A and B are shown apart, each in its own frame.
Chain A
Amino acid sequence: MNHSEDLLKRLPNDIGGQAAGRIEQTDHALSPWEKRCHALADVLDYHKIINTEEKRRGVEALGAEMMNSLTYYERWIAAFSVILFQKQILVPDELARKMAEVEARFAEGLRRGD
């Protein structure tokens, strides 16, 4: 099987059976935002806005390069954003404006020392 056929037959998440190195028996306690992101995934599922399989496919649709560059929960929130755009629940500009607002709010909070 040549390289392009291999890419077509194995999407980025489909790694069962591939060769891989030693299992590093690592773990870490989730940071507060990672835990909120996990809770957001559950709440989106409860409300039938994004289910588990849509989330998994959304992460895969980020592509191999992004999947390898982002951490686990970074991939989730990036995938949620894209899926919410696709479902026309959010528009990109609206998210960009809200992110700028959140960033400014934190900068202001830090400046005032609260």
Chain B
Amino acid sequence: MATHDHHHEHEHAHPKAPDEAPPGYYEIMEIAVRELLVEKKLIEPDEIRRQIEVLDSRTPALGAKVVARAWVDPAFRARLLDNGRAACEELGISIYDDTQLVVLENTDKVHNLIVCTLCSCYPRAVLGLPPDWYKAKAYRARAVKEPRAVLQEFGTHIPDDVEVRVSDSTAMVRYLVLPQRPAGAEDLTEEQLAALVTRDAMIGVVRVQNPGTDRP
């Protein structure tokens, strides 16, 4: 990218090391589209780099922080279930796109699973970018039809008396699963609880495990 914060001996900014292969057709297209949009002043030269910094700053650790807070603070949990976006912003997590965040609470009676059947919509502001399997056909096609079988493939058995609810994300509405706090985690601090919460638990394909009791 031709930004001014890099120093180049030559007139053209060059993102590749000398021994690397030249870019492929679609990478050339990406560079060309971006440069044309900058030339037309429709986007700023530095915006892509700054957005990459935003993307890099978003990981499942943010979602885990939200979940752990909801586990220890019932008032926060209520606000989170009422308005996910506002509650995340309370913790300093900005929802950088124009999307709603609906938080779905797992209970003894309900297990939630999220999917995007049409494409790959995902709560990126709190989880980062989705894993490849979330974007691939098998998960998108089957999650809404046979969620229990899908969960079983992730090693998660949901008893028959627990309802499985599947929520299909859209461009405007994103979902985040609030997993159940694992048994035996009563004495853990909020930070220790957050460390137990995984990306896949917030998608709903697994439960949160407590290594102290669940994996002896």
**Interface of A with B (CB < 8 Å)?**
13-28, 30, 32-33, 35-40, 42-47, 49, 51-53, 56, 59, 70-74, 77-78, 80-81, 84, 89-90, 94-95, 98-99, 101-103, 105-110, 112-114
Contacts and interface: CB of A to CB of B under 8 A. Distances in A.
B123 to A, nearest CB: 13
A104 B16 CA distance: 14
Contacts of B26: 33, 70-71, 73-74, 77-78
Contact of B131 (A19, A27, A35, A98): A27
A44 B40 CA distance: 13
B78 interface: no
B32 A98 contact: yes
Interface residues of B, number: 62
B136 interface: yes
Contacts, number: 175
27 contacts: A13-B118, A17-B145, A19-B141, A23-B154, A24-B133, A25-B133, A35-B52, A39-B49, A42-B54, A43-B43, A43-B48, A45-B97, A53-B171, A56-B118, A56-B119, A70-B26, A73-B30, A77-B29, A78-B29, A84-B33, A94-B36, A98-B32, A101-B32, A102-B23, A103-B23, A106-B28, A109-B14
Contacts of A77: 26, 29-30, 33
Contact of B132 (A27, A37, A44): A27
Given A21-B138, A72-B135, A99 B29 contact: yes
